[in-house]
Structure formats: C-alpha cells, structure tokens
Amino acid sequence: MPFDLFRLLATPATLCTLLCFPALPVLADDSGKVLPVKNSEAKTAEEMKPYTELIEHTSAKVEMLPIPGGKFQMGSPDTESDRRPDEGPVHEVEIAPFWMAKFETTWDAYDVWMSDLDVFAMEVNKLEPTPRDVIANEFQKSQPTKPYCDMSFGMGKRNFPAICMTQHAARTYCKWLSAKTGRYYRLPTEAEWEYACRAGTTTAYSFGDDPSELEKYGWFADNAGEAYKNVGKKKPNPWGLHDMHGNVAEWVLDQYVDQGYPADTLKPVNPLLVPMTLYPRTVRGGGWDKPAVDCRSAAREGSTEDWIAQDPQFPVSIWFLTDALHVGFRVVRPLQEPSEEEKKTFWDYSEPIQKERPVPLER
C-alpha cells in the first residue's frame, strides 16, 4: 500500500472526512483562479449576501455572513461592571464592510490544510490539480509539522472548533484558504472583531448587561463541563454570528498592549496595531474555560509564553500551542480587497518573521 494512502487510512477522522462524507459539488471553472460560489461576489455593501465557501475536493465548508460597515464606540466605559484597564479608553472607530465566518473555524475545515486532506482526496480520486490547487501548494508545503499528540485533547473534532494553533498558523491557513478559493481571507482586526461581536449594541454583551443570560448565548466555565462544544449550538448575536461569547477565544491580527489602546498609534478608520513582537498578541471572546466576565464584548486577552510551556520540541513549534486549549479563530473577508502591496506591508505583516521549516509533500 502506498505510504500516503496508508497514512490516510491510519487516521479514522481523516478517513471519515473524505469517504463517509463525499466531496460537495462545486461550480468550478478550472481555467480560472477564482472558485465560483453563489452569492460570494458584490461590488457594494448593499449587494453583500450570505454565502457558503467550499473547500474543493472535500466536504468542508465555511459559512460567511455580511457585516455592514459603520462607526462604533470601541472599548468599555468606566461604568461597565468588571471593566479592566486594558479595555479603554473608549474611542470611535469606523469599519469598512466585510464578511465574517458564521462559526469559529472547525477541525473539519482546518484539518484539510493541516493534514493535507484535499491532496489525499485528489490522489485517491485521481483528480488533476486546478489552478487554485497549484497556487495553494505553496502554503500546503509550509504546513505544520506533525503535532506531538491529538491537538483536540480528546474534546472532539467533527463540527468542533479547531484549537491550539499559533497566530502564525492561523494566518498561514488564511493564506492557503485565499489561494484555494481565489477570495482574500484573513484574521479580523481587533476592531472588526469587537464591532461584529457588538452587532450594533453598546451593552456588556451583545444580548445585554446581565451575565446570567450568557447561558443562552455561549459556552463558558459555568456550563461547558470542562470542554469546548460543537459550534452553533447557542443563540447567535443580532448579526447572526454564533459563539462570539465563549466556546473558544479567537485570534485577531493585533498586537496586545496591556495599558489599553494606544491613541497615538491607532487610526480611527480600520485600525490595526501590527504585531512587532511575538508576545503578547490578542485573542477575543473568552472561552469554554473562562468566567462570564472574560466573555464580554470588550474583554481582551494577550498571549503569553505559558501557552507553549509544555511543547517538547526544540526549538518550540511555530504552529502549535500546547497549553492554549481555549484558543481558536474565525476568518473574515473584506468587501474591498486590498492590493498585494497593502497585504504584504500591512494586513498580512508581523514581526518577528517566523522561520518556517517547509515540509515536502510525500508524493
């Protein structure tokens, strides 16, 4: 038996993903670099509609919802219960329209990249690579080295949120997804995340100020039973986004500053604090192991080296966080795609540059 097929069959979860759930049909035009998907294109905010992004050669998909542009007051006021100093000062921010994933990125979608499931499916089904597959190959070859253990830590995979990835891994996944689909995906900025979480509200949570109501909208320390849960099982916020409060915290693009928002650095329109150090970087939304206060719309958390304390590799992995079982991510797609130069110098940039060890595909 060929080694690659053996590796596929030796993993029940990947076998189920490819064989028990056959690939969805797509409206593909293999002469182009963009995968046609219904309702995925718009020229104005008024034309934006929900759509389902498909990951070719697999059954994985990512549901995207339109988020209207607008202005909001970012941060928490001094009067908010349990407010922390890093949540201020409150400042007005203007956000351009974008699409945001309805759910946190699941293992179903993440494993396609992390474990080469689409490549295996193409081999099993004897499919020729599309132009998109060829472009995505760059990021497939820079995929994570194999984790030292099951990174779900036994909490479940199918329809559960992916966890324990570094911000670098989440960023690389977005680059791969962009190449696979021909549409530009990235992590949200911290401002975009809070804007989408609030969904037009000004209260501590998107459903109000009463933390006793969180039970209806999120998984957190009081109701999660010491494990994350399937995405989408709680009520959504007013814009239809699920699990913005709890379940897993979500990577955003920004550097974290514990003193709060640096007014002299952040712009009032589409702000982003480009990371210039590896720690700390920002996650938002709390998590299944966090108290209700950490799941508020304005609550922030900075990454620390403790999140990788038990990593047995030397040097430590640039892909996995052994001790961040509450950390995942979701993707966004701006209505107006930036230029390649803007992506390179702003949206996709961070320091220090992570030293990737390309993993040659064993074909």
Give the residue carrying structure tokens 């990021």.
139
Q: Look at strands 327-328 and 249-255 and give their pairing.
A: parallel
pTM for this structure? 0.91
C-alpha distance from residue 193 to each of 37, 187, 354 (Å): 25, 9, 24
Task: With cut-offs at 50, 70 and 90, classify the pLDDT of residue 148.
Answer: confident
The pLDDT score that the predictor gives to residue 313 is 77
Q: What percent of the chain has pLDDT over 90?
A: 80
**pLDDT single digits (tens) 343-355:** 999 999 999 998 7
Q: 345: which 2 tokens?
A: 């110098």
Confidence of residue 141 (pLDDT cuts 50, 70, 90): low
pLDDT tens digit sequence for 228-275: 999 999 999 999 999 999 999 999 999 999 999 998 899 999 999 999
Q: C-alpha 241: how far from its chain's center?
A: 13
The 10s digit of each residue's pLDDT in 211-237 is: 999 999 999 999 999 999 999 999 999
Establish how many alpha carbons lie within 13 A of residue 132's alpha carbon, considering only the half-sphere containing its beta carbon.
24
Mean pLDDT calculated for residue range 187-205: 98
More confidently predicted of 337 and 149: 337
**What CA–CA distances, in Å, run from 59 to 71, 278, 329?**
37, 34, 20
CA 208 – CA 202 distance, rounded (Å): 8
Beta strand residue intervals within 75-167, DSSP E: 91-95, 98-101
Percent of the chain with pLDDT strictly greater than 70: 88
- CA torsion angle 13 18 22 26 (round to 10): 120
pLDDT the model gives residue 4: 38
Closest alpha carbon to 297 in 283, 285, 282, 288: 285
pLDDT for position 142: 57
The runs of H, that is alpha helices, within 1-105 are 3-9, 12-15
What is the pLDDT, as a whole number, of residue 293?
98
- Domains in the chain, ordered, with CATH? 3-347 (3.90.1580.10)
Mean pLDDT of 129-135: 93
**312 is written with which tokens?**
């047995």
Question: Is residue 99 predicted with pLDDT exceeding 50?
Answer: yes
Question: How many CA atoms are closer than 13 Å to the CA of 1, on its beta-carbon side?
Answer: 9
